[in-house]
Amino acid sequence: MKTKAMTEQLELFGCIQCGKCTGGCPVARKTVLNIRSMIYNMLVEPELDVKAHEELWDCTCCFTCVERCPKDVRPADLIIELRGQLVESGRIPETIGAALMGTFRQGNPSGMAREDRAAWVNGTEVKAAQEGCELLYYVGCTPAYDLRVHTVTRALARAFTAAGLDFGTLGTEESCCGNEIKRMGEAGLFEMLVEENSELFRSVGASRLVTTSPHCFNTIKNEYGLDGIEVLHYTQLVAALIEQGQLELSNEVNKKITYHDPCFLGKQNHVFDEPRAIIQAIPGVELVEMDRNRERSLCCEGGGGRMWAEGTNLEERLAFQRVHEAAETGAEILAVACPFCLLTLEDAVKVQGLDEQIQVMDIMELVNLSLGEE
């Protein structure tokens, strides 16, 4: 691949090679991925053999590099572009190929049947957004299909109903938001999703859109350009509902809880306070912080398409480190606000044998407990 065009397109000439990107990169510590050095290669070498860089698939798109680059270079964007080159040439991990195909065919990267997308509802009363609603609840693929996450989606629907909100979902018509697709390098498919989804979202006439996942929230809020529709992550909406007295958390949850900031919610969108506000609004809860929190939260390795690509060095997973950090606080519950974090960290708790000590729960599962019996 010729480097010149991409170097110009991404304005890599501004890089001063300070190393802040690689220095803070959570995966650079365990694999050969070195984005600073890759930028340098792009600048000084006329050609780059992209396929020789298997480690491109290690990046989780946590965007720590982008957030901290003092010269606005956006190093992770280079990785996404280089993945794009690999996608175009078809030299991609099989699992990534399957995720892209699944999204193309069934509207979700896990390739599950579109007709099953609304199965999570399971008797919960949820209106079809197509009938018109004030709040569009964009469920997202993993929350819609992954059985482990159904407690979260149902808890959200329940909370919205309890708060008296006029909300609806797109049911089986909902498709992948494309956040992960874009980061896997499939820009074409991403654009198609943005176009189709935007049209669908607008047709509903909702003034607000809320997502389960920080990943969907990120792309819909920052990359869709939906003028006139306010895009929220559920933690923002639920925190506001609690503060305005529309949602009453009455049951005590007598637990010591620590909270893990998801990269796509915290680092990338600076939503730090609302998740904590919800946790602290639950009677009986004691919130304790891990040493690395907020902007310094350690990535769980679930983003940037990594739910569908193992990456190199499977042995030292960041999620392992993270659950040990959580356990060290003495917390009984590790609270999360992202379906990927929920899955990766819960798995890590099991693999690390910490399940007697600490339990991973989504904030909505905690809210659900506090709302009491249905």
- Pick from 103, 290, 78, 65: nearest CA to 181: 103
Shortest distance, position 69 Cβ to other proteins, whole Å: 8
DSSP-H helix ranges across 113-233: 141-145, 150-162, 179-183, 187-204, 214-223
Shortest distance, position 188 Cβ to other proteins, whole Å: 31
- Pick from 213, 209, 25: nearest CA to 109: 213
Q: Measuring CA to CA, how many Å separate 272 from each of 165, 201, 276?
A: 24, 27, 7
Q: What are phi and psi of 360, to 5 degrees?
A: -95, 130
**DSSP-derived 3-state class of residue 208:** strand
Max alpha carbon distance in the chain (Å)? 64
Shortest distance, position 25 Cβ to other proteins, whole Å: 7
Residue 127 or 292 having the CB closest to other proteins:
292
Query: What is the spatial distance between Cα 45 and Cα 168, in angstroms, rounded to a whole number?
Result: 52
Beta bridge partners of 361: 335
Q: What length is written for the chain?
A: 374
Residue 37 or 359 having the CB closest to other proteins:
37
Q: Measuring CA to CA, how many Å separate 308 from each of 51, 144, 268, 302, 319?
A: 19, 17, 21, 9, 16
Shortest distance, position 141 Cβ to other proteins, whole Å: 32
> CB pairs under 8 A, 24+ apart, for 223-226?
223/179, 223/182, 223/194, 224/194, 224/197, 224/198, 225/198, 226/198, 226/201, 226/202
Residue 72 or 374 having the CB closest to other proteins:
72
Q: How open is the CA angle 297-209-228, to the nearest 5 degrees? A: 115
Residue 22 or 103 having the CB closest to other proteins:
22
- Pick from 198, 214, 216: nearest CA to 206: 198
Residue 25 or 249 having the CB closest to other proteins:
25
Residue 71 or 148 having the CB closest to other proteins:
71
Residue 33 or 165 having the CB closest to other proteins:
33
Residue 60 or 106 having the CB closest to other proteins:
60
Query: What is the spatial distance between Cα 31 and Cα 26, in angstroms, rounded to a whole number?
Result: 9
Shortest distance, position 293 Cβ to other proteins, whole Å: 9
Shortest distance, position 20 Cβ to other proteins, whole Å: 4
Residue 64 or 258 having the CB closest to other proteins:
64
Q: Which residues bind other proteins (CB under 8 A)?
A: 16-25, 28-29, 34, 36-37, 64, 68, 70-72, 291-292, 294-296
Shortest distance, position 26 Cβ to other proteins, whole Å: 10
Q: How open is the CA angle 246-248-254, to the nearest 5 degrees? A: 150
Shortest distance, position 298 Cβ to other proteins, whole Å: 9
Shortest distance, position 79 Cβ to other proteins, whole Å: 16
